[in-house]
Structure 1
Amino acid sequence: MERAMAGHGTDEHPHGADRLCEAGDRVYSRAVRRGRVPRGDAETAPCLLDLALLHPDPDDMDWLVPTPPQEVMTRLLRGMYDEVSASQRRVGSAVAAFERYAGLGRQVQPVPSAAEGSAIRVLDGLARIQAAMDEATEACTTEVLTVQPGGIRREHELAEGLHRALTLRGRGVRMRDLYNHVARHGQGLLNYLELMGDAVEARTLDEVIDRLILFDRKVAFIPANADRTMALELRHPALVEYLVTVFERLWRLAIPLTAPLPDTGIEGISHREQSIAALLAEGHQDAVIAERLGISVRTCRAHIARLSETLGAASRTQLGVRIAQVGLDGPPRTAVSPGAREPGARTVR
Structure 2
Amino acid sequence: MEYGELGAEGGGGPAGELTPDGLRLYEYAAAVPSFTPTEAGDALGLARPELARALEHLEALRLLRRDADEACRYAVVSPEFAAGQLLWPMERRIRQQSEDVERIRTTFAALGPCYQNGRQGRQRAEVEVLTDLEDVRRLIDGLADNCRTEALHVQPGGARDPEALLKARASMGRLLERGVSSRSIYQHPARYSQHTVEFAEWMMERGAQVRTLADGPDRMLIYDRKVAVVSVQGNSAHALVVYEPNLVAFMVSSFETAWRAAAPFPVGFDREWAKQISDDLRQSIVRLLAEGLDDKSIARRLGMSMRTVQRHVAEIMRTLDAKSRFQTGYLVGLDEVGISDR
TM-score when normalising by structure 2: 0.57
Q: Describe the superposition over 1:141-180 as per-residue Cα deviations: whole angstroms up to 9, x where unpaired.
A: 1110011111222322312322111110111112111111
Select 1:140's aligned residue among 140, 147, 150.
147
- The CA distance in 2 between the partners of 1:270 and 1:120, in whole Å, is 39
The one-character-per-residue Cα deviations of 1:287-306 (angstroms, maximum 9, x if unpaired) are 22111111122321121112
SS at match of 2:183: strand
What is the percentage of aligned positions where both structures have the same residue?
A: 34
Secondary structure at 1:109 match in 2? helix
Q: Distance in 2 between matches of 1:219 and 1:183?
A: 26
Deviations 1:76-124 (A, max 9, x none): xxxxxxxxxxxxxxxxxxxxxxxxxxxxx9899347989xx94222223
Offset of residue 254 of structure 1: 1.2
> Does 1:177 pair with 2:184?
yes
Report the AA paired with residue 184 of structure 2.
Answer: D
Kindly report which structure 2 residues correspond to 1:88-167, keeping only aligned pairs within 5 A, or say none.
Answer: 109-110=117-118, 118-167=125-174
Q: Once the 2 structures are TM-superposed, how far is the Cα of residue 193 of structure 1 from its aligned partner?
A: 2.1
Corresponding residue for residue 310 of structure 2: 301
CA RMSD of aligned residues (A): 3.3
The structure whose residues are more often helix, as a share, is 2
Contact kept, 8 Å, 2:217 with 2:254, in 1: the verdict is no
Q: Is the 8 A contact 1:286 1:301 kept in 2?
A: yes
**Count of matched residue pairs:** 224
Cα separation, 1, equivalents of 2:146 and 2:331: 54
Q: CA deviation at 1:226?
A: 2.4
Alpha-carbon distance change, 109 to 317 in structure 1, aligned in 2, over 3 angstroms? closer
Contact 2:130–2:239, Cα closer than 8 Å, also in 1: yes
Amino acid at match of 1:288: S
- 1:6-33 CA-partner distances (Å, limit 9, x unpaired): xxxxxxxxxxxxxxxxxxxxxxxxxxxx
Within the alignment, does 1:217 sit opposite 2:225 as a pair?
yes
1:186 alignment partner AA: S
Q: How many Å separate the matches in 1 of 2:235 and 2:133?
A: 11
Q: Deviations over 1:8-62 (max 9, x none)?
A: xxxxxxxxxxxxxxxxxxxxxxxxxxxxxxxxxxxxxxxxxxxxxxxxxxxxxxx
Amino acid at match of 1:340: D
Q: How high is the TM-score relative to the length of structure 1?
A: 0.56
Shift, 1:262, TM fit? 6.9
Q: Match for 1:254: what amino acid? A: A
Determine which structure has greater relative contact order: mean sequence separation of CA pairs < 8 Å that are 6+ residues apart, divided by chain length. 1
Larger Rg computed on CA atoms: 2
Q: List alignment gaps of at least 5 residues for structure 2.
A: 1-112, 267-271
**Which segments of 5 or more consecutive residues in structure 1 lack a partner in the other structure?**
1-104, 342-349
